[in-house]
Copies of this chain bind each other. A is one copy, B any other.
Amino acid sequence: MADTSPVGLHRVLAPAGALPQAAERLDASPEIGVDELRIRVERLNLDAASFRQLATKHGGDGDAVRREVLDIVATRGKMQNPVTGSGGMLARVVDEVGPKSTLGLRVGARVATLVSLSLTPLQITDGLAGWDGQSEQVPAEGHAILFGRSIAARLPDDLPSALAMAVMDVCGAPALTERVVRGYPAGARVAVIGGAGKSGSMSLAAARRAGARTVGVVPVEHEAALLREVGLADSVALADARDPVALSAAVEQALGGAADVTVVCVDVPGCEHGAVLSTADGGTVIFFSMATSFSAAALGAEGLAADVTMLIGNGYLPGHAELAMDLLRTVPAVRALFERRLSAETG
C-alpha cells in the first residue's frame, strides 16, 4: 500500500494541485492506500440542488437523468454535478480498511459518509439499474473511497438507513444554527426559510432547543399545513423567498420584527436579498442552500446598507451527526416530517 495524502491529493487526476472537491477528475480505483477505506456502495443520496437541476434539465425524464448521473460518475470519478458543483452522500458497508486509517470503522460496519460525494472517489458497477431517476435516493452498486481525513458515521441500528442517511445529509445545518442562535440572547427571533424541508426542519428544531422564537417560512399551503400540524415552529408563514419584499413582510409579521437569525434552506436561486431584508441590523444570515450566489449576497447586503453577518453554511461541525440524530430521536415532529418526506420520495 502506498503512502497517501490525508486529504486525498493522490487521487486527483486533473487539474494538478487541486483538492478532490475542486478536481475535474479523480482516480476511483478500488485499491486503497494505508490510511484509506473502501466502502461497498448500496445507496446514494443526491444533493437536493443537484437533483433539481438534473430533473429540470431533462424535463423529468428519469432515464435521461440516470444516464447523466452515470456519465458524470464515469467521467469525473465522483458524483459532482458540473452545474451546481454539489454532490450528496452515500452508504453503506465498509469493505476494506487501510492499516493506518483513523476513522475508527471496521470491515462490515454500516456507515454513511459525511463528506460530500463531490470529493469522494466513486465507481458505479450496476448501471443504476434499480433507480428510476425520479428521486434523490439512488440505489446503487459499486465502491467509494474515503481518505484519512474524511468523515464517516456509523449508521444507527435502531433506525432505517434511508432515514439515518437523510438526517446525516443535513446535519451541518442544525449544528451551525444552534451555535449561532446561542450567540444571541434567549428568545431570539429566528426565521427558517424553507422550514418544511430536511435541513429546514432540523434547523427549526435546533433553534427552538437553543431558546429561540421561530417562524418557518414555506412557499406553498400544503407545506404550511404540514408544518402547522407537526408543530415544529412557533409560527408558520407563507411567502415566495425570491420576493424580498413579500418575504421580509411575512417574517416581520410572524416574529413581531425582523429576525435576529435567518436560516436559508431553500434550494432555489435568488433568495439572498429577501434573507438580508428579513434580518435585523446586528443579525446573522446562515446560507445553507447550494443555490446561493456569493456576489448576490455580498452586494445585496451592501446595497441595502444592512449590517448583517452572512455565513456560508459549513457542512461540518464537531459532533454534528450526533446532534442531528439526537434531534431526530427527541423531537417527534422532526421524525414525522422526515418519514413523510421519505415515503413521498420512495412511494
Residues of A within 8 A of B (CB): 7, 9, 17-22, 84-87, 114-116, 118-119, 149-151, 172, 242-246, 270, 272-273, 277, 287, 290, 292-318
Contact = CB atoms under 8 A, between A and B. Distances in A.
A46 to B, nearest CB: 14
A178 to B, nearest CB: 14
A300 B8 CA distance: 12
Given A243-B17, A294-B294, A305-B115, A299 B312 contact: no
A53 to B, nearest CB: 12
Given A21-B273, A245-B17, A292-B294, A310 B314 contact: yes
Question: How many copies are assembled?
Answer: 2
Contacts of A294: 287, 290, 292-294, 297, 312
Given A7-B304, A115-B302, A304-B7, A297 B316 contact: no
A252 to B, nearest CB: 15
B245 A300 contact: no
A296 B151 contact: no
A19 B293 contact: no
Contact of A311 (B118, B244, B270, B310): B310
A257 B57 CA distance: 46
A299 B305 CA distance: 29
3 A-B pairs closest in CB distance: A302-B315, A85-B295, A310-B312
- A149, A298, A313 — most chain B CB neighbours (10 Å): A298
Given A19-B273, A287-B312, A290-B294, A299 B149 contact: no
B287 A299 contact: no
Contacts of A115: 302-303, 305
Contacts of A298: 290, 312-315
Nearest to A313: B298
A193 to B, nearest CB: 16
Nearest to A297: B312
A86 B115 CA distance: 31
A114 B303 CA distance: 8
A305 B320 CA distance: 11
A306 B119 CA distance: 14
A297 to B, nearest CB: 5
Contacts of A297: 294, 312
B311 A312 contact: yes
Contacts of A287: 294, 312
A314 B276 CA distance: 11
Contact of A316 (B17, B20, B306): B306
B7 A300 contact: no
Contact of A84 (B85, B295, B314): B295
Given A85-B299, A293-B85, A273 B312 contact: no
